[in-house]
Structure 1
Amino acid sequence: MAAPSWLLFCCLGGLIAAASGSGPSPPQVCSGCCAGSVRNGSAVAAFCCDRPGAELLGRCCLERGAVVGLDLGNCSLHQLCPSFQEASTAIIIDLTVNQLEHPPEDTFRGFTQLQTLVLPAELDCPGGSITWDNVTTQESSRICQGQRNPCNGSGGLGWLCPEDSLCAPDGPGLHQCLCEGQYHGYKCLRQGTFPYLLFYGTLGAVTTGLSILLWVTQRRKVKAL
């Protein structure tokens, strides 16, 4: 089915902007993972056209320089590229029509804004179906929608965090423990602000001492020659 005229016009505008070279260079993930542009009529293209101020550049939808949409569909990928983490700000990602291997558990760590992830049907949603509000399968794709906060509810992961820390989401099914107030260090057991002056003062003194020692040692060797 042909894409609606408004969508084609929007996509064409994004492609022209990309070709003109105006503005800062897009992140590496926009072109380094897969050549070409966001596919006409794709969910990422429609999403981008509905956001005022967003633009299509390469395989990305960018908003103020940040990746909010990523279309890596039909890219003949077997693994996600190293620059994939640059898309951690994305709200929607499409990875369909690829022979992807099951990605490692930490692949989507930091993707806290992700609300729609479209995968090949043979792949499970990261974190499992309980991590998403809605999981559907349509022909050859699996759609994961509405990322849930893993810290909420009676079955949340907050109990894994030590005392004096708070559970915070860190991607689909992933969490992190953030120290509260002036607590810091291993398991948030230390109280008070981090002693930056003492730390950097000691580090500077040690570095200076080692430099002087090496200089004296090398000078003696030169004189001996």
Structure 2
Amino acid sequence: MAPRGQRSPASLVPWAAALLLALGVERALALPKVCTQCPGSVQNLSEVALYCKRTPELMLHARCCLNQKGTILGLDLHNCSLKDPGPNFPQAHTAVIIDLQANPLKDDLASTFHGFIQLQILVLPQDVNCPGGINAWNTVTSYRDNQICQGQKNLCNSTGNPEMCPENGSCAPNGPGLLQCVCADGFHGYKCMRQGSFPLLMFFGILGSTTLCISLLLWRTQRRKAKAS
């Protein structure tokens, strides 16, 4: 029997369980919306689950594989009746593997993967083409029920157009089949022709002054109308 004023270890168990449950609920509420947009959880034998289980530091929550910082490394939206990945899909731009098979997706997904530069494995319905086409991937394998796009290529290394980016800019990948030009340090603006850092203080100063003038003009106009009425 525990001394008076002290709780026995057995009586502390429900409190500890309640605390862990509360922390688990709080963590679940903090999940990115794309992880919970489809009901259920990742199936044990899915490509995303197998990828996640190979690294002890990764965790499966809802439809996502997350690292310790909560960054999405895997997303499984298999069989979610999706016609398109949805407005929350860009939250998964850090993903290495994504499964979208068994969904009635539209065929053209090129712009959907804008910024997905880490993506290496993409599982799609069999009738949906890999974003960027076959030239954007090392291998494209078609099966009866799905298509797997694997090994995203860096097209900056294979493009035959050396003048694609301006003199003060360099080519950088921006997703499957997508490229962007990044200005070198000290350059900005159209075609990276402007030298020096972007004048933020001047920009916001002009913007603030313009907004203030318009607000005062509208206030005086409304006041005159009120007096006239």
TM-score (norm 2): 0.82
Aligned counterpart, 1:59: 63
Aligned counterpart, 1:177: 181
Instruction: State the distance in 1 between where 2:112 and 2:226 align.
Output: 53
8 Å CA contact 2:42–2:62 kept in 1: the answer is yes
User: Is 2:151 aligned against 1:151?
Assistant: no
Q: Structure 1's 167 and 101: CA in aligned 2 closer, same or farther, altered over 3 A?
A: same
Q: Structure 1's 158 and 83: CA in aligned 2 closer, same or farther, altered over 3 A?
A: farther
Instruction: State the distance in 1 between where 2:130 and 2:161 align.
Output: 18
Instruction: State the distance in 2 between where 1:177 and 1:106 align.
Output: 17
Aligned counterpart, 2:4: none
User: Per-residue deviation at 1:22?
Assistant: 4.4
Aligned counterpart, 1:210: 214
AA in 2 matched with 1:109 = H
Out of 113, 116, 120, the position equivalent to 1:115 is: 120
Structure 1 or 2, whichever has the larger Rg, is: 2
Instruction: State the distance in 2 between where 1:57 and 1:158 align.
Output: 44
8 Å CA contact 1:158–1:167 kept in 2: the answer is no
Post-superposition Cα deviations, 1:147-202, rounded to whole Å, max 9, x if no partner, equal 1101003x356531122111100000101111112211111121122122222222
Post-superposition Cα deviations, 1:135-157, rounded to whole Å, max 9, x if no partner, equal 2223322111111101003x356
- Secondary structure of residue in 2 paired with 1:178: strand
User: Is 2:201 aligned against 1:193?
Assistant: no
Aligned counterpart, 2:133: 128
- Secondary structure of residue in 1 paired with 2:139: strand
Q: Structure 1's 81 and 217: CA in aligned 2 closer, same or farther, altered over 3 A?
A: closer
Report how many residues are paired: 207
8 Å CA contact 1:150–1:156 kept in 2: the answer is no
Runs of at least 5 residues in structure 2 that lack an aligned partner in the other structure: 1-19
- Secondary structure of residue in 2 paired with 1:216: helix
User: Per-residue deviation at 1:215?
Assistant: 2.6
User: Is 2:94 aligned against 1:89?
Assistant: yes
Q: RMSD value over aligned CA atoms? A: 2.2
8 Å CA contact 2:108–2:129 kept in 1: the answer is no
- Secondary structure of residue in 2 paired with 1:107: helix
8 Å CA contact 2:109–2:131 kept in 1: the answer is no
Q: Structure 1's 158 and 213: CA in aligned 2 closer, same or farther, altered over 3 A?
A: same
Q: Percent identity?
A: 51
8 Å CA contact 1:132–1:145 kept in 2: the answer is yes
8 Å CA contact 1:121–1:140 kept in 2: the answer is yes
Q: Structure 1's 217 and 43: CA in aligned 2 closer, same or farther, altered over 3 A?
A: same
- Secondary structure of residue in 2 paired with 1:160: coil
Q: Structure 1's 157 and 105: CA in aligned 2 closer, same or farther, altered over 3 A?
A: farther
Runs of at least 5 residues in structure 1 that lack an aligned partner in the other structure: 1-15
1:11-30 to 2 correspondences below 5 Å:
20-23=24-27, 25-30=30-35
Post-superposition Cα deviations, 1:72-91, rounded to whole Å, max 9, x if no partner, equal 11223232222111111110
